[in-house]
A = this chain, B = another copy of it.
Amino acid sequence: MSAFQVDEVVAALQGVRREWRDTQQRMQTGGERELPSREVVADVVEALTGALFPMRLGPTDLRQESEDFYVAHTLDNALHHLHAQATLELRHERRRTAAELAELSAEAQQRVREFAAALPGIRQLLDTDVMAAFHGDPAARSVDEVLLCYPGVLAMIHHRMAHRLYKLGLTLLARIVAERAHAQTGIDIHPGAQIGAGFFIDHGTGVVIGETAVIGERVRLYQHVTLGAKRFPIESDGHLMKGLPRHPVLEDDVVIYAGATILGRVTIGKGATVGGNVWVTQDVPPGCSVTQALSRELARDPNAVPAAVSAK
């Protein structure tokens, strides 16, 4: 006899699962795992990060002469695991039976091959991001420190891989990669966002960048910047319309200071600057600066208790 009525709880949970499955009218796939695994994808990302920056983010005992052995083995292994996850995603997306699995696997393989071919380009873009952080932050002492410590760089390593997966139609894997970065850095970049070279996010906690955002080269953001949608257009059938461009366009050399919120398909022109906490829902011309008009009350009476923003 279990002290916790485990038998009953198990039966009740089984009932709830059955209900859920009935509601979802799930196709039977032989009772096997239907979804990619967050853990496996996380390992793949970790391995690819090491393969991209072997001497700095790879294993601590790696020597330069062995880089290529390490890169080849790690890459090969990671890509095969990615292939398996990609096949799972395709099967899940199309609800195919096991019989058609070979076909899906071949398709997944083709996509992973394209992903692999894109990795050198990704590394080149990341090098520009590292340089951007190094030049943009007076506190940065070396490019290595930037690569090792900056959450914005960590987020971009994830995003540049996630974006490539997204463009190859592996949107679920892309999302898992993006959420891993979100969990580690507090920076939430949708894998669909297009981001040019030399991108730098400082501090980063609370940054949100939407799916159809387009960001030029050498752009700089600070913490808690939102590049969001203003509203969701609704189709005639009452469903949300999908795929429409609904997030901002930031042209080259734009700087957005902390806490700024930019909403809708507006364009922030080349070289423009948006000040801290500013709320923008219209275009900003190139070269302009937008700042907030401050309003503040100063109470000299020390007994005046201000509104506490606390959850207590």
Contact = CB atoms under 8 A, between A and B. Distances in A.
A216 interface: no
Interface in A111-132: 112-113, 116-117, 119-120, 123-124, 127
Contacts of A64: 31-32
B289 A299 contact: yes
B60 A242 contact: no
Contact of A223 (B188, B257, B298): B188
Contacts of A186: 186, 205-206
Contact of A307 (B10, B276, B310): B276
Contacts of A36: 148
Interface in A273-291: 273-281, 284-285, 287-291
B63 A73 contact: no
Contacts of A20: 127
Given A10-B75, A35-B56, A56-B34, A232 B116 contact: no
B228 A258 contact: yes
A109 B288 contact: no
A157 interface: no
Interface string A61-105: 111111111111111110110010000000011000000000000
A309 B230 CA distance: 6
A203 B307 contact: no
